[in-house]
Chain A
Amino acid sequence: MVTPNARRNRGQVILIGAITLAFILLGIVVVFNGVLYTETLSESATSQSTADAEVVEQEVERNLVEIAHRWNLETGPETNPSKFKSIDNSGEFAYQYRNTTANSRSTIVSIESNRKDTANVVRNETSGSVNISSDRVGSFVLDLDADSNDHIGVKTSNSSVTINSPDSDSFNINGCEINGEDVRFDLVTGDTNIRSESCDEQLKKDLSIINNNDPEITFSGDLVGNYYIIAKNMTVHSPSSPEDWEGIWSLEAVITYKSSDVSFQRDDTINVYGDNE
């Protein structure tokens, strides 16, 4: 016989059971959400660190290439070629880059680089007719002083360009004007150290006449200045004997990146003048 009192008790038990069940389910939901939230936070931080590491790697490679190229052009025959303080293991660039990145991010970037392959670098005045033959050209730079009605013409097997100087403070290439007394023209990349204000893209196209594979380059004219050639196995025929020294064709670099989330070390060969050997 079930009494009314027993029925009430049963009802209370059921209600308490139901509430307990409800809280258990809620607990599960809360814990699950907490796990998802933590995972999301953790994943986003890690993936961002990976992206940062990629940017650092790109920055370092780009800077090393630029420094090596500039070192090639500016070191000269008198400098001991084995010592390039800017980029070697104890170099100022590596030291200062590490300082700068550590100032803004919780990372340490270590750069170790050494010359792997040498390039022939030649520098001389742009007088007379010059003929250059090589296995591969890395860079061909003309550093010219503007002068009234002077010009210089450069030819390869497929292409040519003439740089004119109508007056003492400007140059003109196929109608594009560059205002400057002393301008550097890179005929491989088409870059100049002073940009044309009117036709930058056209100028770059007109100037980049030399491919890495061009075996023969000739030039002649009366514009005063210097030319720099960085190439592999090069022979230069010119009226005066040029200065020459060993430059950097490729670097062996070890880039180490360490942060709280990501740590990697990359041991790589960096070609200063493109991906070709």
Chain B
Amino acid sequence: MTGNTDRGQAYTLEGFVSAMVVLMAVLFALQSVVITPTSGGLSDRSVQAQLQQEAQDALVVSDQDGNLSETIRNWNTDDDPEKFHKATVPGPDGNRTYNTTEFADQSRLGGILEQRFADNGYSYNVELIYENDGEFNTTYLVYQGAPSPDAVTASYVVTLYENNILTADKSKQIELTESEDHDYPISHETDTELVYNIVEVRVIVW
């Protein structure tokens, strides 16, 4: 009888040990597959959410005293190929765009984006999206290439008014007159006597 009891205990222990071996093997195999929230999403998504929030905050802060609106209106009216003031990089739409350093020199938004993102190895585009004859067009302030699939986006809407002045050329109002053809890409879209157009400033970081 004693021999049978010992054997039973041995079987039980053997069962537990084999269960542990199999369990450990399968768990080890699963570690190589993206399945847990920590490895699969939480850390990545936290970083993405953080980046998005920072880009959004940069837009909100830079609009506090109208600087974002001035950045959008920083347009040269003469024959200078640098239509956005002191922008030297050829952009995808034919207009010249800023590199990150130039943009930092020209605007508060650029300063914040350069300090937080460019200096830490991130890339970003800054786009202006506006309505033109019922369609939405895009002009680039900063263009660093096509965004990667995991890019994050933040946007802020800025209203331009008819009597706003072009920042780079203080003598000219944004509202186009027949004698002043300034090629400014954002056209007058509303029927009101106050609002010129509404522009979405979109920052894409990756």
CA distance A99 to B163 in the complex (A): 23
- For A41, list chain B residues within 8 Å (CB): 41, 45
Contact of A59 among B30, B129, B157 (CB under 8 A): B157
Q: How far is the CB of A208 from chain B (nearest CB, A)?
A: 12
Q: Is the beta-carbon distance between B192 and A97 smaller than 8 angstroms?
A: no
| A40 and B37 in contact, given A21-B19, A99-B131, A103-B136 (Cβ under 8 angstroms) | yes
Q: Which residues of chain B have C-beta atoms less than 8 A from A191's C-beta?
A: 65-66
> Contact between A2 and B165 (Cβ–Cβ < 8 Å)?
no
Interface string of A156-196 (1 = CB under 8 A from B): 00000000000000000000000111000000000101110
The 8 A CB mask of B3-19 against A (1 = contact, 0 = none) is 01001000110111011
Which among B12, B130, B165, B189 is the interface contact of A14 at CB below 8 angstroms? B12
Which of A64-72, A129-137, A224-232, A243-251 binds B? A64-72
A62 to chain B, nearest CB (A): 8
Judge whether A18 and B19 touch: CB under 8 Å.
Answer: yes
- What is the 8 Å Cβ interface bit string for chain A, positions 33-53, against chain B (1 contact, 0 not)? 110110011001001100100
Most buried by B among A2, A22, A44, A85: A22
* A213 CB, nearest partner CB in chain B, Å: 23
- The CA of A17 and the CA of B30, in the complex, are separated in Å by 22
Main SS of chain A's interface residues? helix
Among residues of A, the one whose C-beta sits closest to the C-beta of B193 is A74
Q: Is the interface of B mostly helix, strand, loop or mixed?
A: mixed
Contact flags A50-94 to B (C-beta < 8 A → 1, else 0): 010001001100110011001100100000000001100001110
Q: Given that A22-B19, A55-B60, A55-B156 are contacting pairs, would A96 and B165 also be in contact in the complex, using a CB cutoff of 8 Å?
A: no
Give the docked Cα–Cα distance between A75 and B26 (Å): 75
The CA-CA distance from A67 to B198 in the complex, in Å, is: 12
B155 at interface by CB-CB < 8 Å: yes
A93 touches B156 (CB 8 A): no
Q: Contacts A41-B41, A58-B60: A30 and B35 contacting too (C-beta < 8 A)?
A: yes
Partner of B159, one of A44, A63, A194: A63
Say yes or no for B206: interface residue by CB 8 A criterion. Answer: no
* Contact between chains at B195 and A86 (CB < 8 Å): yes
A-B contact count (CB 8 A): 137
Query: A91 contacts which chain B residues (CB < 8 A)?
Result: 192
A179-B170 CB under 8 A given contacts A7-B7, A19-B19, A194-B165 = yes
Which residues does chain B contribute within 8 Å of A7, judged by CB atoms?
A: 7
Q: Are B45 and A40 in contact (CB under 8 A)?
A: yes
A96 B189 Cβ-Cβ under 8 A: yes
Chain B residue numbers with a CB within 8 Å of A193 are 163-165
Instruction: Looking at the assembled complex, report how far the CB atom of A58 sits from the nearest CB atom of chain B, in whole angstroms.
Output: 7
Q: Give, as a whole number of angstroms, the nearest-CB distance from A75 to chain B.
A: 8
- Which of B18, B42, B189 is the most central at the interface, judged by chain A CB atoms within 10 Å of its CB? B18
Bits for B152-166, please: 1 = Cβ < 8 Å to A, else 0: 000111010101110
User: Contacts A55-B56, A96-B195: A14 and B14 contacting too (C-beta < 8 A)?
Assistant: yes
Q: Contact check, B159 vs A93: say whether CB atoms are below 8 A apart.
A: yes
Nearest-neighbour CB distance to chain B for A155, whole angstroms, equals 26
A interface, how many residues as a size bin?
35 or more
Q: CB distance B11 to A10 under 8 Å?
A: yes
Interface status of B171 (Cβ within 8 A of chain A): yes
Residues of chain A contacted by B14 (CB below 8 angstroms): 11, 14-15
26 residue pairs of the A-B complex, CB under 8 angstroms, read: A11-B11, A14-B11, A14-B14, A14-B18, A15-B14, A18-B18, A21-B19, A26-B26, A30-B30, A37-B41, A48-B52, A51-B56, A55-B56, A55-B60, A59-B156, A67-B159, A86-B192, A92-B191, A99-B131, A100-B130, A100-B199, A103-B200, A180-B170, A191-B65, A194-B170, A195-B70
- Which residues of A are interface residues toward B (Cβ below 8 A)? 2, 7, 10-11, 14-15, 17-19, 21-23, 25-26, 29-30, 33-34, 36-37, 40-41, 44, 47-48, 51, 55, 58-59, 62-63, 66-67, 70-71, 74, 85-86, 91-93, 96-97, 99-101, 103-105, 179-181, 191, 193-195
Residues in chain B within 8 A of chain A (CB atoms): 4, 7, 11-12, 14-16, 18-19, 22-23, 26-27, 30, 35-37, 40-42, 45, 49, 52-53, 56, 60, 63, 65-66, 70, 129-131, 136, 155-157, 159, 161, 163-165, 170-171, 189-195, 197-200, 202
Question: What are the 9 A-B residue pairs with the smallest beta carbon separation, nearest first?
Answer: A18-B19, A14-B15, A92-B190, A22-B23, A18-B15, A86-B192, A37-B37, A36-B37, A22-B22
